Structure formats: structure tokens, C-alpha cells
A and B are shown apart, each in its own frame.
Chain A
Amino acid sequence: MVPPVSATGTDPTPTLADVLRPGTPKLVVDDVTKVFAGRKQTTTALEHVDLHVDQGELVCLLGASGCGKSTLLSIVAGLETATEGMVTVDGDRVVGPGADRGMVFQAYSLFPWKSVARNIAFGLETAGWPKARRQERVDELLGIMGLTTFADALPKELSGGMRQRVAIARALAPEPDMLLLDEPFGALDAETKRHMQDFLLSLWHRTGTTILMVTHDIEEAIYLSQRIYVLAARPGRVAAEIAIPFGGARGPNTKRDPRFLDLRDELADLLAT
């Protein structure tokens, strides 16, 4: 057992990001190991993973397929349990899934029989919000997401990008402490993906939500994050922690910034090893 994490964080070796942007660790992944015991062999999906996400931060977990990044996100969500180690949010130990950690999946997670508005309202009904407040919150999110005219549409009537906006709105509705995104734009075409990245950034600026996002897309990770954890595979472990120097300002020119290009090469090398 590890002592509870204090509000200010007591990491003995402050990372670069801590120095640049001292914050409160919202989420702490403490020495997490995940072993899948199969019949013939056991696979170590994650080995001694330590990381944290500060209040209001946007952090990406970057890694090639099979590095255990989605497993790690599932453990943070409480959908899987760590074999060793633990995850805490605001010092509370995560023992299972909850609406405080809203999650967005790559695809197929919207309720196909519910309208856009009813999809967004699902978490609010679960939390027992009174009907008037529920309606207010759904309307607010429909506005933020640019989906007001599609309130009564079924998911199958929407484009891929719109569906992911509904999924994000649904996860945001019950006002979670943080948002977990599991390759949310992985199934979208390049153009839609770019739009959704900018949309996510503006949403993040607007709501100040803490975001932990899994991706295998290097440029996406640099463009969106304040920090990146690079995961190496077999066994999954943190290979590097990289602070992104652009602050909050991102735009079309970010991707032409020489620092962006340097980071891209550096991360490509890290992923290749």
C-alpha cells in the first residue's frame, strides 16, 4: 500500500512539466502492473507504470499497438483491475467504474435506439438529476457540440465525427472530474479527425476538464497535449515523459513549428525502439 497522495503532490523527483506548470495531481497511477494469465502463457501488459495527470491538464498516452495503453486507460476507468499497484483520483482509490471518470470509446458505444438528446441524458438519468435540470444540461451540451438541430436524430443518421461529438457530450454531461478518451478519433477520416482535434482543444479551453487520451498518432499527441507519456511495448511501460512547449496556443501553424517537427522525429525514434 502506498500512502495517500497529498493535495500538492510529493513526487521526490519533479518532472519537467511539474516545474513548468506546477499543478495538483488529479490522477495518480502508482506502480501499476497488469498481468493477463492465459492458459498457455501469461502476458505482462503493463509493468510498474507510474504517471500522473494534473488538474486541468491534457495528457496523451502515446504508443504503438500492443503497448497496453488502452489497458492502462481501462484500469484508470475502473473497467479493469490492476494486478499490482493502484490508481487514485484526488487521493481516492479507484476500485471500479464511475461517472466521475467519463470515457469516450473509439466506436460503437452510442445507444442506437436513443436519440442524440437521450444518449446525452443517460448519465444524468443514472445520477438522478431532476428532469428540468437534465433538459437544461442536455440543451447546453447540444449547443456546445453544435448538435442542437440533431437533438432528435438517431446515431445511425449521423456522420462519424458527429457521433464522436455525441459520445463526448454524453461523457461530459454528468460533470465528470476527468475525461478519458480511448483513440476517440481513430476511426475518422483525416479531415474529420483534424476538425475534431481542434474541437477537442476548444472544448478543453472552454470547460477546463482534465483529459487523459490514448492515441497511436504522434502528431495528434503533440498537437493536443501538454505532456505525453510514451509507452513501450512488451511489457508495456513508460519509456519517456515529454513536455510539449506550446502552452495552450495551438493552431494551423503549430504543425509547422520547428519544435513540432523536432518533437515528431524524437517521438518517432522513441516509438521505433
Chain B
Amino acid sequence: MTTVDQAGSWPAGARAAAGDAVTDVATDVVGDAAPAVPGEGATPGTRGRRPSRLLGIRTEVPASWRIGFGVIGVLAILALWFWSSQGDSALIATPSESWSAFTQMVGDGTFQTDLWASAQRVLIGYGISMVIGIVLGIATGTFAAVDAFFEPMIGFLRYIPAPALIPLFLLLLGIDESPKIWLIVVGTAFYNVLMTADVARAVPREMINASYTLGAGRWRILRRVILPHSVPGIIDVARINLAAAWSMLVVAELLAAQSGLGYQLIRSQRFRAIDAMFAILIAFGVIGLLSDVLLRQVRNRVAPWSRP
């Protein structure tokens, strides 16, 4: 509403022009009073900032735009690769060279062998790490005493870079499979524990209290309430830290291995097989992407209730 106060604060000319509007303004909304402002006459203006279609803060863009941007992003990186591989640079393989190196590795079976060797280490090592993460994480997030026990310990241990343990592991465990597997365990378990603890802490207090008032004891609440509530969160933790497991694997394989994708990478370097190196690097990305999609599917299948 146009009030006397506002009218009083208008410039003198505006007040005069508004004079006839004031009589009917009481029944009008503010916007209608706009033509009363001197100058332009009867064209209504606009109020407020128009929201941005492209870069609105936390606003959705149309699905077609999403797909479009994704495609542009992938094409951009491919274009960058293609462009930088042109010319005489022998250090960057072209996409087509990489592809033929890849088909050749698949053809003679070395790729499958190395992939399986690496995947086996990741599955075993990361499996152990997830078991540790789930058991200790749920306990840490549920019981303050367990939290107090592990917090300073893990806070210290997780700052020791896991690859720094490789020399020690090689001495202690030899050069076969176990140092690689334990490097994956050590390199990911702390994060799995800490992140799973946060997942367990996210169980609403009221849900636990409601369970108590329904007669449930601690063990029952742990198994029937905290654990099922944490399942989707645990799968997400597994999904996020899986990348770190592959990192640890490659570090181990680069240093001491006779098989695996990381070993093949260092071997290709020795023989200056740049195209094979690129093929393996891209294979890592594709493996990661596929396992990410797979774990998302598992999450939605196992816990449809948590789907947004």
C-alpha cells in the first residue's frame, strides 16, 4: 500500500503526480501505483531480479540441458586429447592408437589377465576394508565409549600416508599378494570407519527412542534399526572410497608386482609403449565409472526407501 510516509518521502514532483492516484490507491496493490511515478506515463515496469536459467543457484536445468552439458564435457576432453596428440609429440598417443593398443591387449588376452589380477586384489583388500569399516564404523557411531577409544588412534594413523608403509610391508609380508592387499586395506579402512560412523550417527534420535519405547533392547536396535537405516549410506561410502582402493592398488603394482594393470603400466613405460599406457589409463576411468553406476543400482535396489 502507498502510505502517507512513502508519499512524504517522494520527490516533490512525484508527490504532485501521485496526487490523483492516492485517492484510489487504497484499493489497489502496490504494483498498480507504479504508473503514478512521473516520466514514462502508463507503461508498467518490472520488479525483482529475473532468475538465471543457466546458472541459477541450486536450481534445476532441463534434463535435455543436463545431457547436453555432459556430452559437451566428454567431447571437450576428447578434443583436448586429440588436439594435444597431434604433431610430432611422441609422448601422447592419439585416441585411435590407444584404441588399437587396447584391442591388441584384449586380443592376446593380457588385458583380461591383468584386469583380473588387479580386480582380485581390490575385491579382497577392499572387502576386508569394508568389513572393518562397517563393524568399527557402526560401533564408533553408536557407542560413545568406542568412539572415544578409536578417535585419537585413527586421527593419528590416518595421517600416515599408506604408500609410506610399502617398504615395511614388503619386509614383513614378502612380495606376493599380501602386501598389495594390505596396502589397500590400510589405505581405505580408516576412511571407511570414519564415514560409516557418520552414517550410523545419522540415525535420528527419535527413531532410536521410539524403538526403546516399543520394548527393543540395545542389540535389537543395533540390528533392526541402526543397521538397516545405515545400509544405503554404507553403500555410498563403499562407492566413494573405492577410488582410493584403486589408487592404493596401482601404487603397489607400480612398485612391486608381476601382474596387474599397474604392472602393465610400468612395463609399457619401460618399452615406451605410450599407446598401451593411454589405453590402461582410460580403462581405469571406465572401470571406476562402471562400478560407480553398479553400486548406485545396488543401493536403489537394496534400499528403495532411501531414493529421493
Give the docked Cα–Cα distance between A138 and B220 (Å). Answer: 21
Q: Is the CB of B305 within 8 A of A109?
A: no
A69 proximal to B (CB < 8 A) = no
Contact A126-B207, Cβ < 8 Å, known A111-B225, A112-B306, A154-B305: no
Q: Is the CB of A126 within 8 A of B215?
A: yes
Q: Is the CB of B213 within 8 A of A79?
A: yes
Give the docked Cα–Cα distance between A107 and B206 (Å). Answer: 8
A23 proximal to B (CB < 8 A) = no
Give the docked Cα–Cα distance between A167 and B214 (Å). Answer: 11
Q: Is the CB of B305 within 8 A of A112?
A: yes
- Looking at A84-92, A98-106, A197-205, A217-225, the stretch in contact with chain B turns out to be A98-106
- The interface residues of chain A lying within 8 Å CB-to-CB of B216 are 122, 126
Contact A109-B207, Cβ < 8 Å, known A126-B220, A154-B305: yes
B258 proximal to A (CB < 8 A) = no
- B204-234 interface (Cβ within 8 A of A): 204, 206-207, 209-216, 220, 224-225, 228-229, 231
Contact A109-B215, Cβ < 8 Å, known A103-B209, A126-B220: no
A156 proximal to B (CB < 8 A) = yes
What residue of chain A has the Cβ atom nearest to residue B205's Cβ? A108
Contact A109-B204, Cβ < 8 Å, known A97-B212, A101-B213, A123-B214: yes
Q: Is the CB of A170 within 8 A of B214?
A: yes
A190 proximal to B (CB < 8 A) = no
User: In the complex, which of the residues B207, B304, B306 has the most CB atoms of chain A within 10 Å of its own CB atom?
Assistant: B207
B303 proximal to A (CB < 8 A) = yes
Give the docked Cα–Cα distance between A167 and B207 (Å). Answer: 11
Give the docked Cα–Cα distance between A96 and B206 (Å). Answer: 16
- The interface residues of chain B lying within 8 Å CB-to-CB of A111 are 207, 225, 228-229
What residue of chain B has the Cβ atom nearest to residue A107's Cβ? B206
Least distance between B236 CB and chain A CB atoms (Å): 15
Give the docked Cα–Cα distance between A167 and B210 (Å). Answer: 9
Least distance between A123 CB and chain B CB atoms (Å): 4
- The interface residues of chain B lying within 8 Å CB-to-CB of A122 are 211, 214, 216, 224
User: In the complex, which of the residues B212, B213, B231, B306 has the most CB atoms of chain A within 10 Å of its own CB atom?
Assistant: B213
- The interface residues of chain B lying within 8 Å CB-to-CB of A102 are 213-214
A77 proximal to B (CB < 8 A) = yes
- B34-93 interface (Cβ within 8 A of A): none
A127 proximal to B (CB < 8 A) = yes
- The interface residues of chain B lying within 8 Å CB-to-CB of A156 are 305
- The interface residues of chain B lying within 8 Å CB-to-CB of A77 are 209, 212-213
Give the docked Cα–Cα distance between A169 and B306 (Å). Answer: 23
User: In the complex, which of the residues B206, B210, B216, B304 has the most CB atoms of chain A within 10 Å of its own CB atom?
Assistant: B210
Q: Is the CB of B210 within 8 A of A109?
A: yes
Q: Is the CB of A108 within 8 A of B213?
A: no
Least distance between A133 CB and chain B CB atoms (Å): 16
A171 proximal to B (CB < 8 A) = yes
Give the docked Cα–Cα distance between A99 and B214 (Å). Answer: 5
- A103-148 interface (Cβ within 8 A of B): 103, 105-113, 122-123, 126-127
Q: Is the CB of A103 within 8 A of B229?
A: no
Give the docked Cα–Cα distance between A101 and B213 (Å). Answer: 7
Q: Is the CB of B305 within 8 A of A171?
A: no
Of the candidates B209, B231, B304, B306, the one whose C-beta lies within 8 Å of that of A109 is B209
- The interface residues of chain A lying within 8 Å CB-to-CB of B303 are 113
Least distance between B222 CB and chain A CB atoms (Å): 13
Give the docked Cα–Cα distance between A106 and B213 (Å). Answer: 14
Give the docked Cα–Cα distance between A79 and B210 (Å). Answer: 10
- The interface residues of chain A lying within 8 Å CB-to-CB of B211 are 122
A174 proximal to B (CB < 8 A) = yes
Give the docked Cα–Cα distance between A113 and B212 (Å). Answer: 18
Q: Is the CB of B305 within 8 A of A126?
A: no
Give the docked Cα–Cα distance between A74 and B214 (Å). Answer: 14
What residue of chain A has the Cβ atom nearest to residue B308's Cβ? A156
A residues whose Cβ falls under 8 Å from a Cβ of B: 74, 77-79, 96-99, 101-103, 105-113, 122-123, 126-127, 154-156, 167, 170-171, 174, 180
Told that A113-B229, A126-B216 touch, could you supply 15 new A-B pairs with CB distance under 8 A? A97-B212, A102-B213, A103-B213, A105-B206, A106-B206, A108-B207, A109-B206, A113-B228, A113-B303, A122-B211, A122-B214, A123-B214, A126-B214, A156-B305, A180-B213
Can you name 26 A-B pairs with beta carbons within 8 Å?
A: A74-B209, A77-B209, A79-B212, A97-B212, A97-B213, A99-B215, A101-B213, A103-B210, A103-B213, A105-B206, A108-B204, A109-B209, A110-B207, A111-B228, A112-B229, A112-B305, A112-B306, A113-B229, A122-B211, A122-B216, A123-B214, A126-B216, A126-B220, A155-B305, A156-B305, A170-B210
